[in-house]
Amino acid sequence: MRFLAIAVAAAVLIALPLVTTGYVVYLANLLLTFTVLCLGMHIVIGETGQFSLAHAAFYGIGIYAAGIAGTTFGTPFPVSILIGGLAASAIGFVIGMVALRMRDIYLALATFAFGEAMQWVFLNWNAVTGGPNGLRIAPARLFGLELVTDKDAYPFVVATAIAMLVLTVIVARARLGRSFRAVRESEIAAQAMGVPVRRTKVVAFGISAFFAGIAGGMFTLFSTYIHPDSLGFQTTILVLTMVVVGGLGSIGGAVGGAIAFGLISELLRQAPSFQEIAYGAILIVFMMYAPKGLFAFLADRFRGARHA
């Protein structure tokens, strides 16, 4: 079933730009960007159990760093994307060393405060971010190739998303991933087993920020404008809901949740006044009735039906 799912996903990704309109390709680019965002949140919340609410801030740092690198300095877009990831990761490590002295609700509040402070920076640092007018981003370039349309950007967005997914699997299967899960289950037991708990949490925070920054760089491949209003707390809640809907602690759940709930959020775009209500209701329902996520819930029901 796993290989079948991978084969179907690969066929869809290959065929999509050949049989669909520009809007559908744009939506696919956006969902793949959200997938990388969700993988980053999966590392810090699902793998390590640290409740961070600063993901939108790191995403914004990645967008502005990559956008400014490409627009002002004309760097090739692979370099710009890497700059976005490294800039977010550097700040993530610093914030992690400070914020991870706290736990649980205090950590959530501290990272929430950082996210709100960064949105204030995005709104008021006019010389760099464009302030409330937003930032115009030049089309991504590489050796004379210019990505003008969503279809131009699509292959590179897909390649970046696949690379980040592979990196997530490598981290999860490595010793570092086992350390993340040990810290999630019990910090005391992890420390007794020789896991450097504080360093592990800081590394998880930095890697999560790196993923968010890479997602920000991906955004600049198919979008030529960013406004600070789209980098607020609502974006963090959107990504958190995607991870919860897919299933905390599951890489497949993070990917599936990004795609499934990304489509739902696009449908809710027609009713912006009810978006927050809908997101909150979905979170409540899943935490009460499907805490392992949508796909685990469906799998359990399927196995139960077969057994019956």
Instruction: Dump pLDDT digits (tens) for 123-133.
Output: 999 988 888 89
Q: What is the reported pLDDT for 97? A: 86
Where is pLDDT greater, at 204 or 278?
Answer: 204
Residue 308 has pLDDT above 70, yes or no: no
- In this structure, the dihedral spanned by the alpha carbons of residues 300, 301, 304 and 305, taken in order and rounded to 10 degrees, is -150
The 3-class SS string of 34-86 reads HHHHHHHHHHHHHHCCCCCCCHHHHHHHHHHHHHHHHHHCCCCHHHHHHHHHH
Residue 200 to residue 302: CA distance in whole angstroms: 37
Segment 142-181, tens digit of pLDDT = 887 888 888 899 999 999 999 999 999 999 999 999 999 9
Count of residues making up the chain: 308
Residue 306 has pLDDT above 80, yes or no: no
Q: Is 272 buried (19+), middle (13-18) or exposed (0-12) by CB count in 10 A?
A: exposed
Are 211 and 164 in contact by the 8 Å Cβ rule? The answer is: yes
Q: Which residues of 289-308 are buried (b: 16+ CB within 10 A; e: fewer)?
A: ebebbbbbbeeeeeeeeeee
Segment 76-121, tens digit of pLDDT = 999 999 999 999 999 999 888 887 777 778 888 889 999 999 999 9
Alpha-carbon torsion (185, 189, 194, 199), positive or negative: positive
Segment 41-77, tens digit of pLDDT = 999 998 988 888 889 999 999 999 999 999 888 899 9
Residue 33 to residue 215: CA distance in whole angstroms: 5
Q: Which residues of 47-83 are buried (b: 16+ CB within 10 A; e: fewer)?
A: bbbbbbbbbbbbbbbbbbbbbbbbbeeebebeebbbb
Residue 171 to residue 48: CA distance in whole angstroms: 12
Residue 228 to residue 247: CA distance in whole angstroms: 29
User: Average pLDDT for residues 262-272, to the nearest whole number?
Assistant: 78
Are 54 and 114 in contact by the 8 Å Cβ rule? The answer is: yes
Where is pLDDT greater, at 56 or 308?
Answer: 56
Nearest to 26 by CA among 266, 268, 272: 266
Q: What is the reported pLDDT for 99? A: 74
Residue 108 to residue 259: CA distance in whole angstroms: 25
Element at 7 (helix H, strand E)? helix 2-19
Where is pLDDT greater, at 288 or 83?
Answer: 83
Q: Residue 35's pLDDT band (boundaries 50, 70, 90)?
A: very high
What residue has token string 């292959």?
155
Q: What is the reported pLDDT for 1? A: 62
DSSP secondary structure letter of residue 274 = G
DSSP secondary structure letter of residue 225 = E
Residue 100 to residue 264: CA distance in whole angstroms: 33
Q: Which domains, and CATH codes, for the chain?
A: 2-307 (1.10.3470)
3-state secondary structure of 102: coil
Segment 213-254, tens digit of pLDDT = 999 999 999 998 998 988 888 888 888 888 888 888 888 888
Residue 2 has pLDDT above 70, yes or no: no
Which residue type, as a one-letter code, is found at position 12? V
> 34 to each of 31, 51, 223, how far by Cα in Å?
5, 19, 14
